[in-house]
Structure formats: structure tokens, C-alpha cells
Structure 1
Amino acid sequence: MQATAERSPPAARAGDIPLLEVRDVIKTFPGVKALDGVQFKLRPGTVHALMGENGAGKSTLMKIIAGVYIPDGGELLVKGQPLTLKGPLDALDNGIAMIHQELNLMAYMTIAENIWIRREPLTRLGFVDHREMRKRTQALFDRLNIDLNPEAEVRSLSIANRQMVEIAKAVSFDSDVLIMDEPTSAITEREVEHLFRIIRDLKAQGKGIVYITHKMNELFEIADEVSVFRDGRYIETKLSSEVTRDDIIKMMVGREITQMFPKEEVPIGDIVLSIKDLAVEGVFSGINFDLRAGEILGLAGLVGSGRSNVAEAIFGVVPATSGSMAIRGTPVVIDSPATAMKNGMAFLTEDRKETGCFLTLGILANMDTAVLSSNYVKFGFVQGKRLMKDCDALSKTLRVKTPNLHEPIQNLSGGNQQKALIGRWLLTRPKILILDEPTRGIDVGAKAEIHRLISKLAGEGVAVLMISSELPEVLGMSDRVVVMHQGHQTGIVDRKDADQVTIMDLASQ
């Protein structure tokens, strides 16, 4: 595979000047060479997918193109002209807009205010013209077929709807180059189809889309070209019609991955968690299921169905207002996450940036925060050496790419942040593990490893409740699937009876 690094991208068509070109770009962070002389070309009216494992350098390159980072070497050309970007606003002024993987909206402002910030229409007296701003937002939403109220505050929106606002905001700049970093990581298949219609309209207008994704099916559906990076180096560029899924994986990881969903048949034990008529008033109601030792129970449904709300109620983030829970036959009242943890629960949240990571702290501090009052404390003192040893071992098992465990977690890629959070909860040695989108933003190689880890935990008797927006993941990993629609449970399907049609039918009732 090493020889592929010397190949060049396909030759440009006659008269086809790239909208964007990157030449020999280098970027170094303390202890890490994030980019090592990479190249990239984006042609007008095309979607160019950028693939690679977490830590391959994809997001770093995009942040350079978007003016967030300044490269240490190399050059950037826009429509054939060299360009030095001084910041994100400079990139926007030069026709480059980016939708970040980690959403950057202001929660306590309205949708309209977020979209037009720094570009607000003004009245003749110089005040913000809120009526005109609402009108422009509604016109933008009508154009993109987005059904949201411009007056709604962003904090009231689901992750999926915040993603659609980010997309609308980027489109509103009318930029020639639009960078999409994992735009479908938190949206359903129906919303993905909606996004792809928007992308095809932009292509028809001659725009260039840089599309970063870990989802192979999306690559072959929407991308014209694909470039692969590995360990900060450019590997190869191909037309998407010239490669297979296996070709891309081999280029990404330097090895072959034979099984994406390594579900193992393990003995299913006694009931560990029993949920009866669980409800949070005004959010969801009538949730009933049993979760057994060694079982992986999938929780499926369209975004907004209440899946994450159920998980939060079980873990005590937002305590249930009615219904009951029992652990190994003993009734319990879970009124807080602390109570849930005392009862052997662990919960990986959906949004690692908002509710998972302590962004300014190091990886070690992020991993050990759930065990500082239990497993690693003796006579009132933290057993630092044992804790460091176990954190280091887990980070290696999960392949967290970092120079050391004291590196601030905000310097890691989104996927590596996710793996560190999974490590946090594994340290607690949970009996009940709740995973909300466990592989969101994680590359294909790490996904397979995390799936193997989940199967291994189930084999050790851990009861796993797994929420995922990716139906292949739910179907591939689950022993049974609980399906929800608009806050109600619509069915439970055994593994042998589960397929995409059955699940989607129940999720759409």
C-alpha cells in the first residue's frame, strides 16, 4: 500500500480550473505532524469525498481551507490564484464556507439570528430589522425545503435540526466552495435524502462540495471523486465509479477489514433491567422492555422519536415522571446520574461536545472523571499509578491517537474524543451500558473495533442498550430491537425477524 502514496490525482479536464487546490500543505501540532505535504483538488460542479481514519488529517486540512488554522507550509489556490487566509471570515469573503462536525450555533439565540449573525439586515435607523431577517430565513428554508420556525431558539432544537440550520447557514453565504464535515452524523436516512437533494441542486449551480464522511454508502451515492488520507499523508484520488468499498477501506487503513459487525452468539442471562410504563410527561410514554445480561438491545426510530430521552430517563439525567424500573428484580428510583452509577449503569451521551467532553482538560482527566469516587480510591486517596496504567491501556485498545494522555481533548479529532469517552465508561466496569450513537463520527476501522468491544462486553455478561441512527448497525449488532415513533414504543423485533423494511415500518407508524 505504501506505493500508492506516490500516485497523483486524475488529470484535470481541459479548461477545468479547480475551484480549490491544495499543494504540499504541512501542519504540525505539539508532538503530532497532522499533515505531511498533502494535496487536494476540487472541481466546479462536483462532490469530492475526503476519506480516512480518525486522525488521518481530514478535519485539519478542512480547517486550513476554512481559515481556522494557518498551515506551516504549502499553498492554497482558489480558482487558480494563490490565497493566504487570515481567518474564517477571510475564507467566507473568498467564497469558502464550512459546516463543522461539531456544531457551532449559539443556543440562546434564534435560528434567524444564528444564520445572519454579522450580516443582519438593518433599518434606516441602523437597528437590526428582525422582520426582514425572519423573511430572509423563511425564504432560505422554503428554497431548501426545511420545516423550522425562524423564531425558535436553537437550544430547543434536536441535534438533527441544528444540523439542518448549520447547512442552511452555510448555503446562505452563496459560497463557491462548501465543506461538509460529517453532515449526516446525527440525521436519519430520510433527512439524508433531503440533504442529498440540496447537494445536487448546489452541484447544478456549479458549486464545489468537499464531503467528509465515514459512511461508505453515502460516498457512492453522492460523490464524484474520492481522496484518501492516512496518518496525515495523501494516499490517492480516484473517481468514485472506479473503486469499491473494499478498495477504499484498504487505502484508509492499510489492511483489510473482513467483518464490520462482529456480533457473537453469547448466552443471554437473567433480566438485569426491567422498564414498565416509563414516561417523561410531554416527551414520551408507555415504554416497556426487559434487558438481560449478555444482551445487546437496539433502540431504533427516526430522529425526534424520543430514543435519547428514554436513555436519559433511565440514567436519571431527566428523571421519569411515571412508570417504574427494577434492577435484578429490585425496584429502584433513578433520580440522578449518580444514583444510576451506584446501580452499575454507564451512559455514553449522543453529543460529545455539549454533554460528554471537558474540552479544555486532558484525555486522562476526561477518562478518569467517572471513577474518582469509587474503583480507584483507597483510604480516601486516588490510586494514581493504577488509574494511569488502566487509562493508558484502554486508550491503546481503543486506538486513541494522541501524543500523551495529558493532551487537551479539544485537540483530538471528533472520533478520538468519542473513543476517549467510551474509555471513561469502561473504567467503571458497568453492568448496564447505555450507548447513544456509539460510533457517531468514527472511522470504519475504529467502528469495527468498537463493535467487537461491545460484543466482548456482552459476552462478559454486560447488558447493553444501544441507540443508533444507522440501521445496518442496529440490525448487525442487536439481539432484539425496540422501535419508537413520536414518543411511543411501536414494537420489539427479534434479531431473526429484523430487517430494514420492518424497522422503518414501525418507526414511521
Structure 2
Amino acid sequence: MPVLLEMRSITKTFPGVKALADVNLVVREGEIHAICGENGAGKSTLMKVLSGVYPYGDYSGEILYRGDEARFGDIRASEHAGIVIIHQELALIPGMSITENIFLGNEPRKGVAIDWKAAQRRAQELMKLVGLNEDPDTLIKDIGVGKQQLIEIAKAFAKDVKLLILDEPTAALNESDSRQLLDLLREFKTQGITSIIISHKLNEIEAVADSITILRDGKTIETLDVKADGVNEDRIVRGMVGRDMSSRFPDYTPNIGEVFFEVRDWTVRHPITDRLVTKHANFSVRRGEVVGFAGLMGAGRTELAMSLFGRSYGTWLSGQVFKDGQEIRLRTVSEAIEHGLAYVSEDRKAIGLNLLDDIKTSIVAAKPAKIAHHGVIDEVAEHRVAEQYRQDLRIKTPSVDEGIAKLSGGNQQKVVLAKWMFSDPDLLILDEPTRGIDVGAKYEIYGIIHRLAEQGKGVVVISSELPELIGLCDRIYTVFEGTITGEVLRADADPERLMKQMTTTKKMPV
């Protein structure tokens, strides 16, 4: 296949950090080309250089596109050339319709007026291309994340895409939506459309990619031909981290104590409708234990966790919480924190962090009173605490004075963990703690979870990845439509058993 894109000796520097150093990338027409690497390896930065987010003159090196040198001054220039990037954080406006989102800034016109009838017809044609059958007047907020991802791709087709770049396209999707999206990429390939995909889901990369370029520490390590080189997940991991990882989970021997946290008959109603999102839930956590919650998207795992954490979701109807044998009241987030609970949200950017803050401010945010005197933050103590967590959790940053927004996803997740560890919780609830981060960062976070358990704390892990729950947790509860349907010990856990319990309302024996 002829070469469509060549990036030569791309170097991009930020203050104090060389994000890319002489990176080379060759992409051929009609292929699906994956870019892999740990968080902070430079993957997204390289794509921002390509798409004009970082304009010509803001980096060194050259870009050859369709045989000619490309000097994109902004993202509109790259889109005009047929290069469209879909970022991990979808750029859709919830309160606008599908049609309005697809053609935002690119509306078809009749004279000086927008031709909305033509826009709706074209929107339906574009949705058909990506396998969607929705009313074009539907608001974005009224469709699921999987369909929103397809709307972003439909937007790309509205711009006559030749090279489609997808940054973590399946990070927030369930297995069914992920499979549909990957099938769509294969279909685009038959139509001659070239795709570049960045993903931490190595099984998906192995299944869909023709070629894989691996970046490490801002440098090109190698490019693999998936079929010719016999590429598998272990081979990709070795290129990403520079070593073999014989196990994806650290060696760990649990030391589990007595039950210290117990939930009885917990029932919560949806904040708007009469639907019950949590139905008479009962579960317990022992000291030093890692407890998993498995369920399909929409099963009610997050709703259960958030409702326990200061009733921050839905309407509480009934139920009791006991800690060390005494009933406790968790009516507000402040009460939850005072009783030793911490909750790491599945959405670190929207809920877990303020991206305008610096690292040190974020780390002490959950319990600033610990380093305050007469209501005033001790800045020396704040810096000392943040620096200690930076070292302990190996947060990659030149300084704790740096902004949160400059960190990679894995390092942002470590800051969220540090924030709640600083509050010194007895029970730490982690909702999708490794979503959108690479295998190396996952390994480090698993180690942090084990260290917390070794300190006698209880850890609850909510995850959509069954291998993660099986490899990490001592016990796993399964949830279906707001009901806890079973409890499985680690020794008895396998994907088939968990999936069976995740798809039925019938409660299974331990």
C-alpha cells in the first residue's frame, strides 16, 4: 500500500519537558495503524502536532501528507485536508441536537441562512453510514456514550475524512459498543479510509490493527506488522515498558481481618424517575480486604457507591451502614469523609479533579484542615505533603507546583488517589481506577491498592474489566439492574461465572 502520511523527526518541547524527541511515523493508505505507549509517552501530543492543535512552527520536524509537506496552522487546516481527530473527551454539546452537533461551524446554507432541512437529511445519511438510526432532532444528552462516539465519527464524515484519528475511542464504552466501533473501523478500511487509533486496550489493538507504532518516553521504539511479526499482547507490552511483564498484577499475599464495614438493605431511587437504582443491597468489607463489584454498564455499581458516599446520587429510601459494629450516618459528603470513607470517581477530569488547580492544591483538597492553622493553609506543609506523595506514588512531574492539566491520565489518577489517601480513610471506594491508563501505570496503581490493604484499610474496586477484578480482588460481588446477585471468592472467580451472575436477577449462592 502507498504511504499516506509520514512524520519525520518530530520534536515538541514544553517548559521543562521534551514531550517528543525525533519521533517518526509512517502510515499507509487504507490501513488501521495503532499507536501504543505508556501514559506520558507522547501519543496524544504527536496526534495534536499532526492535526494542527500544535501548529506548524510550534514543533520541529516535517509532516508529509499525500506526498506533499503539510504545514497546518490550526485544526481547521488539517480538517480541510481530510484529517479529522476525535479526542478522548468528546467535543459534543449536550443541550444541542444531533444535527446541530454534526454540522456545528460547518452548517449547510441556502444563501445567508442555514438550510436546516438539508442538514437533517444529510445528518440521517451520515448516521446511516455509522450504523445509527436516531431522530436527528434528539438532544445529545439523551443518547448514551456509545452513540455519542458514533456521532463524533459522523461529524468526521461531514468533513470528508480521509485520515481518521481516534484517541482512546473505547475507553468509556461497554463491550458491545466497543465491538460495534471496531467493526465500523474495519468497514471504513474496505472503503479506503485510513485510521489511526490510540488505545490502552491491547486486546482490541491486536484484533483490529494492521500496524503498531510503539512510543516510549517521547521516542519511537519500533513499528510492528501485526500479521508478519506475530504480534500479541505480551509483545506489545514488552515494547511499551521495555521489559517483559510476566504478570500484570504484583505479587501479594493478603492479610484479611474482621468485618468492619457493613451495608444492610440499602435502597436508592433515581434522582428524576421512580426507578430504583439500588435495591436492598447488602454487603460487607473486612480490614485488609480488596472487594470488587462487577456489572455491566448501567447495572448500578456507581449509583450504589455514590449514594453511600454522602448520598451524592439519587434519593435514599432505606438502609443502614455500620462501621466497627456501630451504625453511622452518611447524609453528606462531609459526614462520609469524617467517618473515614473516600470515593475516587470514574470521571477524574469532571469530578475527581479541578483541572485549573496545581498538583499540591489537588492533593490536600479532600481534607485541607489537616494542614491548616486557624483556618489558613500552611503552604510549607502543603508543599511537603504533596512532594511526599509525588515520590511515594511516582507521579511524573518536574514539580508539585505544575498544573493538573499538564499531567498524563495515569499521573492524574495518581493525584486523585493521593488526594483521598491524604484524608486517611478506612474505606476507599475506587470507581474504574485504571480506565484509560496504560499497563505500566495500572501495575503501579495495583501496588498502591495492595499497600492500602496491607495498612488494614478496606478497598472497594468497581471495574468493567473482569480480568482486573479477578487478578486484584479477594472477593467479588456481582450487580444486575441495581440488585447484588452474588458473591464470589477469588479462588472461585472466572469470567464465565461472573458474567452469568451479572446478567440475571436471580441471586446465586457463594
Q: TM-score higher than 0.5 here?
A: yes
Alpha-carbon separation, structure 2, partners of 1:172 and 1:279: 46
Alpha-carbon separation, structure 2, partners of 1:334 and 1:362: 30
SS class of match (1:325): strand
What residue is the counterpart of 1:245 in the other structure? 233
- Contact 2:120 2:136 (C-alpha < 8 Å) held by counterparts: yes
Q: Which amino acid aligns with 1:61?
A: L
- Contact 1:300 1:468 (C-alpha < 8 Å) held by counterparts: yes
Alpha-carbon separation, structure 1, partners of 2:361 and 2:290: 29
Range that drifts further, 293-302 or 392-401: 392-401
Pair 1:364 & 2:357 matched? no
Range that drifts further, 442-451 or 280-289: 280-289
What residue is the counterpart of 1:79 in the other structure? 66
Alpha-carbon separation, structure 1, partners of 2:157 and 2:359: 35
Which of residues 96, 106, 125 is equivalent to 1:109?
96
Q: Which amino acid aligns with 2:431?
A: D
Q: Mapping of 1:469-488 within 5 angstroms?
A: 469-488=464-483
Alpha-carbon separation, structure 1, partners of 2:398 and 2:332: 35
SS class of match (1:238): strand
Pair 1:22 & 2:7 matched? yes
Alpha-carbon separation, structure 1, partners of 2:349 and 2:115: 31
- Contact 2:303 2:314 (C-alpha < 8 Å) held by counterparts: no
Which of residues 291, 297, 316 is equivalent to 2:291?
297
Quote the RMSD (CA, aligned, Å): 2.2
- Contact 1:187 1:469 (C-alpha < 8 Å) held by counterparts: no
What residue is the counterpart of 2:184 in the other structure? 198
What residue is the counterpart of 1:4 in the other structure? none
Q: Which amino acid aligns with 1:352?
A: R
Alpha-carbon separation, structure 2, partners of 1:203 and 1:49: 14
What residue is the counterpart of 1:351 in the other structure? 347
Q: TM-score, normalised by structure 2?
A: 0.90
Q: In structure 2, do the counterparts of structure 1 residues 132 and 470 end up closer, same or farther at CA, with 3 Å as the change threshold?
A: farther
SS class of match (2:293): strand
Q: In structure 2, do the counterparts of structure 1 residues 487 and 362 end up closer, same or farther at CA, with 3 Å as the change threshold?
A: same
Pair 1:54 & 2:62 matched? no
What residue is the counterpart of 1:277 in the other structure? 265
Over residues 100-139 of structure 1, what are the superposed CA-to-partner deviations in whole Å (9 max), with x where a residue is unaligned?
Answer: 122322232233322221223446771451x554444444
Q: In structure 2, do the counterparts of structure 1 residues 38 and 306 end up closer, same or farther at CA, with 3 Å as the change threshold?
A: same
Q: In structure 2, do the counterparts of structure 1 residues 132 and 176 end up closer, same or farther at CA, with 3 Å as the change threshold?
A: same
Q: Mapping of 1:19-418 within 5 angstroms?
A: 19-70=4-55, 71-122=58-109, 126-127=113-114, 129=116, 132-146=118-132, 150-241=136-227, 242=229, 243-262=231-250, 264-281=252-269, 282-286=275-279, 287-316=281-310, 317-328=312-323, 329-373=325-369, 375-418=370-413
SS class of match (1:321): strand
Pair 1:452 & 2:440 matched? no
Range that drifts further, 29-38 or 261-270: 261-270
Q: In structure 2, do the counterparts of structure 1 residues 171 and 435 end up closer, same or farther at CA, with 3 Å as the change threshold?
A: farther
Pair 1:504 & 2:499 matched? yes
Over residues 298-326 of structure 1, what are the superposed CA-to-partner deviations in whole Å (9 max), with x where a residue is unaligned?
Answer: 11222222222222111132254212231
- Contact 2:80 2:159 (C-alpha < 8 Å) held by counterparts: no
Alpha-carbon separation, structure 1, partners of 2:162 and 2:11: 24
Over residues 213-256 of structure 1, what are the superposed CA-to-partner deviations in whole Å (9 max), with x where a residue is unaligned?
Answer: 12221221111111111111111111123134333223222233
Unaligned runs of 5+ in 1: 1-15
- Contact 1:398 1:446 (C-alpha < 8 Å) held by counterparts: no
Alpha-carbon separation, structure 2, partners of 1:474 and 1:289: 17
Alpha-carbon separation, structure 1, partners of 2:52 and 2:276: 41
Alpha-carbon separation, structure 2, partners of 1:264 and 1:315: 28
What residue is the counterpart of 1:5 in the other structure? none
Alpha-carbon separation, structure 2, partners of 1:89 and 1:346: 43
Alpha-carbon separation, structure 2, partners of 1:89 and 1:441: 27
Alpha-carbon separation, structure 1, partners of 2:262 and 2:133: 37
- Contact 1:324 1:331 (C-alpha < 8 Å) held by counterparts: no
- Contact 1:319 1:335 (C-alpha < 8 Å) held by counterparts: no
- Contact 1:22 1:77 (C-alpha < 8 Å) held by counterparts: yes
Pair 1:466 & 2:452 matched? no
Which of residues 432, 437, 444 is equivalent to 2:432?
437
Alpha-carbon separation, structure 2, partners of 1:139 and 1:430: 52
Alpha-carbon separation, structure 2, partners of 1:128 and 1:343: 58
- Contact 1:56 1:230 (C-alpha < 8 Å) held by counterparts: yes
Alpha-carbon separation, structure 1, partners of 2:380 and 2:354: 22
SS class of match (1:438): coil
Report the number of matched residues: 492
SS class of match (1:19): strand
Over residues 435-470 of structure 1, what are the superposed CA-to-partner deviations in whole Å (9 max), with x where a residue is unaligned?
Answer: 111111211111111111111211222111111121
What residue is the counterpart of 1:11 in the other structure? none
Q: Which amino acid aligns with 1:36?
A: A
